[in-house]
């Protein structure tokens, strides 16, 4: 029998949970979403969604996890199975393993970029490079054939190193994960505070002859000036709900897994909100004070408006740090990519635990076997995202596993918890051992409001209107003009409509070849994901049969 | 910064910092529950 694991301390558990939630999106996705959705007014729907969807989902997942853990279940298929007599629910639980494996496959690649950029910051690779050259460095880095350190296939080597580090920590079990969180989270906050103070005090000191009007205040004004008219736009509310959803890492199965190791009489209600607010601190306080103000402080607000996005982290920030002098630029580079690395690794470690918990519960695999098998599967799935990054395999994994699957699973688990398991039983589970008096209104919110919001998020993604213009689409629908779908909607994405349209319009043979290749790799990525899901479902089926036989044996 | 942006930023960030600090303080100061007598008791439903 494999030894039962447990968290070493309450603070360790909260830091691990907060580390699971805090990711690169806190620093890169949140400020960009705010900028694109009404500036300061975005914070209103964002906080409303945090209270009506984020916190309820945290409580649901913590409750489900601890409930399942009491019957020795540490992964979602059989956690869900313990909550209902209907056996099909455990196949919904497959999402809680699948998502983690598929997301880890490409997430570890981003994490490896941060590792590599820490190295390059220390080595002075960005010294004297122009903005265009720093941006070109990234493009050349992800073209895996190139090398900037003399190591052949540098991007692949860093990816494998990153994966090995994750696997090694995971092989030390829950104690390893807890230790990584206890080191990583305080360092992340320390680095973040340093950079945030810099962003807050930069002012107009970054203005240059090229951009004489550059000012960090403009960036902060742009981010925080409320545009209250945007509050009536459904797009802004959907964007806020989506941001809350992804920032808290709900709908993944990792929270259930971590909570399954909480003792049955220990608190979950206070722990959940404490970890949730720690994530909000990193996102709202630190995340808003780094990228946007620093970029606006040197490159001007117009540049930020045109270029705000994920790529800024790697393609712009090293260039801006160079302006801080030879020593401070190295310190800032190490801190920035270091904090992104800690944000990444505390999340990717969480992604390994559902698989390890499942294999331990069902097939008696020890933590070393569990960790290395996880590493091997992630490597196998991740290499296509690394090698065919430019062909869109990475994006495809991110869309289906990292976006759509989360919403589907979160919606399903909320219905299960509030309607199938039952709100009274669910509430009793949440309040058992609680150190926090949760307001009774949340019983109503969890039962009605949260599922409704999740359904809206799902439908919003399924039927995204043309150009994300909800007001125009609703007017068109009610005036009999129909509902024109955007190519980013799930329905049009499944049909590859955007790619087909580009192919039909292309005349250049090289462009036609590129698009044809992209179509092939897009479908290949989907095939890999479907096979992974099918493989995991088969494992769950085998585990269920084994459980049934074992029960019969004991009965006999 | 303009005053409306500064006000909204200050209110939001101070609120988030205060609530985060409050919950974390409660976590740190709440006395741990007594250990169960045995694993069986801990695992009992």
3-class DSSP state of A17:
helix
Asked whether residue A85 is domain-assigned, the answer is: yes
- Closest residue by Cα to residue A193 from B12, B13, B8, B15: B13
Query: Is the domain of A275 the same as that of A166?
Result: yes
Nearest by CB: A226 against B8, B13, B42? B8
Q: Please report which confidence band the pLDDT of residue B45 belongs to, taking 50, 70 and 90 as the band edges.
A: very low
Statement to judge: residues A487 and A406 lie in one domain: no
A303 and A353 both lie in a single domain: yes
Dist. CA A278–CA B24, nearest whole Å: 8
Residue A3 has pLDDT above 70, yes or no: no
Interface of B with A (CB under 8 A): 1-2, 4-6, 8-9, 12-13, 16-17, 19-20, 23-24, 26-28, 30, 32-33, 36, 39, 42-45
Distance between B14 CA and the closest CA of chain A, angstroms? 9
pLDDT digits 0-9 by tens, A461-484? 999 999 989 989 999 999 999 999
Do A397 and A478 have their domain in common? no
Residues of B in contact with A285 (CB under 8 A): 13, 16-17
Q: Give yes or no for residue A275 having a pLDDT over 60.
A: yes
Same domain assignment for residues A382 and A478:
no
ipTM of the complex: 0.90
A425 or A556: which carries more pLDDT confidence? A425
Question: What is the C-alpha to C-alpha distance for residues A54 and A48, in angstroms, rounded to an integer?
Answer: 9
Check whether residue A408 and residue A436 sit in a common domain.
yes
C-alpha–C-alpha distance, residues A426 and A256, integer Å: 14
Question: Do residues A358 and A484 both lie within one domain?
Answer: no
Residues of B with CB below 8 A from A217's CB? 1
Averaged pLDDT, A53-62: 97
The pLDDT assigned to A14 comes to 97
pTM above 0.90, yes or no: yes
Q: For tokens 């959705």, what's the residue? A: A37
> What is the greatest pairwise CA distance in chain B?
61
Instruction: Please determine, for residue A384, whether its predicted confidence score (pLDDT) is greater than 90.
Output: yes
> CB neighbours of A499 closer than 8 A, spacing ≥ 6?
A515, A518, A519, A522
pLDDT of residue B44: 47
CATH classification of the domain holding A309: 1.20.1740
List the single residue in A221, A225, A435 with the smallest CB-CB distance to B26.
A435
Radius of gyration of chain B measured on its C-alpha atoms: 20
Residue A210 CA neighbour count, 13 Å, CB half: 8
B42 pLDDT tier (thresholds 50, 70, 90): low
Residue A47 lies inside a defined structural domain of this protein? yes
Q: Are A379 and A490 within one domain?
A: no
pLDDT exceeds cutoff 80 at A100: yes
Locate tokens 């801990």: which residue?
B42
Q: Tokens for A378, please give them.
A: 């992630």
The rounded percent of chain A whose pLDDT value lies above 90 is 79
Owning domain of residue A479: 467-494
Min Cα–Cα distance to chain A from B24, Å = 6
> Which residue is closest to A216 within chain B, CA to CA?
B1
Number of alpha carbons in the 13 Å side-chain half-sphere of residue A188:
32
Overall residue count recorded for chain A in this entry: 556
For residue A4, being part of any structural domain is answered with no
- Compute the half-sphere exposure of residue A57: CA atoms within 13 Å on the CB side of its CA: 33
Number of folded domains that form chain A? 2
pLDDT in tens, A388-419: 988 999 999 999 998 899 999 999 999 999 99
Q: What is the pLDDT of residue A40?
A: 80
Q: Give the count of beta carbons closer than 10 Å to the beta carbon of residue B36.
A: 14
- Res B37 pLDDT > 60: no
- Per the prediction, chain A carries an average pLDDT of 93
Kindly state whether residues A346 and A407 are assigned to the same domain: yes
Higher pLDDT, A148 or A246: A246
Domain assignment of residue A279, yes or no: yes
Helix axes A234-247, A470-478, angle to 10 degrees: 130
Distance CA A115, CA A107 (A): 13
Residue A424 pLDDT: 97
Q: Same domain for A485 and A355?
A: no
Contact A182, A10 (CB under 8 A): no
Cα A52 off chain centre by: 20
The answer to whether A99 and A403 are in contact (CB under 8 A) is no
A281/B17 CB distance under 8 A: yes
Size of interface A-B (CB pairs under 8 A): 87
Neighbours of A4 (CB within 10 A): 12
A2 within a domain of the structure (yes/no): no
């Amino acid at each position: 029998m494999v030894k039962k694991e447990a968290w070493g301390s309450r603070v360790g558990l909260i830091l691990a949970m907060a580390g699971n939630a805090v990711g690169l999106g806190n620093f890169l996705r949140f400020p960009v979403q705010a900028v694109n959705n009404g500036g300061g007014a975005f914070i209103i729907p964002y906080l409303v969604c945090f209270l009506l969807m984020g916190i309820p989902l945290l409580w649901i997942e913590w409750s489900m996890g601890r409930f399942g853990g009491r019957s020795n279940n540490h992964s979602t298929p059989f956690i869900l199975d313990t909550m209902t007599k209907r056996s099909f629910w455990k196949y919904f639980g497959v999402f809680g393993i699948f998502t983690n494996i598929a997301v880890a496959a490409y997430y570890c690649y981003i994490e490896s970029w941060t590792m590599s950029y820490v190295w390059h910051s220390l080595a002075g690779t960005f010294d004297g490079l122009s903005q265009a050259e720093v941006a070109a460095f990234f493009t050349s880095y992800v073209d895996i054939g190139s090398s900037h350190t003399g190591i052949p296939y540098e991007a692949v080597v860093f990816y494998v190193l990153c994966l090995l580090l994750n696997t090694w920590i995971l092989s030390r079990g829950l104690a390893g994960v807890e230790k990584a969180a206890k080191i990583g989270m305080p360092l992340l906050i320390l680095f973040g505070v340093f950079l945030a103070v810099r962003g807050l005090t930069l002012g107009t000191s970054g203005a240059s002859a090229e951009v004489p009007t550059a000012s960090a205040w403009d960036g902060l004004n742009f981010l925080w000036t409320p545009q209250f008219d945007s509050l009536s736009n459904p797009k802004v509310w959907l964007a806020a709900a989506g941001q809350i959803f992804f920032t808290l890492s709900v709908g993944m199965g990792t929270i259930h897994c971590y909570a399954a190791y909480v003792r049955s009489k220990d608190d979950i209600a206070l722990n959940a909100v404490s970890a949730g607010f720690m994530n909000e601190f990193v996102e709202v306080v630190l995340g808003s004070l780094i990228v946007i103000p620093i970029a606006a402080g040197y490159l001007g607000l117009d540049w930020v408006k045109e270029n705000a996005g994920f790529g800024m982290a790697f393609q712009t920030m090293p260039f801006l740090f160079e302006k801080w002098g030879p020593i401070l630029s190295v310190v800032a580079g190490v801190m920035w990519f270091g904090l992104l690395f800690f944000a990444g690794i505390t999340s990717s470690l969480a992604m390994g635990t559902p698989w390890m918990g499942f294999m331990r519960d069902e097939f008696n695999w020890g933590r070393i076997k569990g960790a290395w098998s996880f590493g091997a599967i992630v490597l196998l799935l991740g290499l296509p995202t690394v090698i065919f990054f430019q062909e869109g395999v990475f994006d495809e994994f991110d869309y289906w596993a990292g976006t759509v699957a989360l919403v589907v699973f979160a919606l399903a688990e909320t219905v299960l918890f509030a309607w199938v398991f039952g709100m009274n039983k669910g509430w009793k589970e949440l309040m058992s051992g609680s150190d926090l008096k949760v307001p009774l209104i949340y019983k109503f919110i969890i039962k009605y409001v949260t599922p409704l919001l999740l359904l809206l998020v799902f439908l919003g993604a399924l039927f995204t209107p043309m150009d994300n213009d909800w007001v125009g689409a609703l007017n068109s629908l009610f005036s009999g003009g129909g509902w024109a779908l955007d190519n980013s909607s799930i329905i049009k994405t499944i049909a590859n409509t955007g790619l087909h349209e580009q192919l039909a319009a292309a005349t250049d043979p090289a462009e036609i070849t590129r698009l044809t290749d992209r179509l092939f790799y897009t479908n290949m990525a989907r095939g890999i994901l479907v096979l992974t899901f099918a493989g995991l479902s088969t494992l769950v089926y085998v585990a269920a049969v084994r459980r049934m036989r074992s029960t019969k044996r004991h009965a006999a | 910064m303009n005053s409306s942006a500064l006000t909204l930023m200050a209110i939001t960030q101070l609120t988030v910092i205060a609530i985060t600090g409050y919950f974390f303080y409660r976590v740190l100061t709440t006395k741990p529950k007594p250990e169960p007598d045995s694993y069986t008791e801990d695992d009992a439903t």
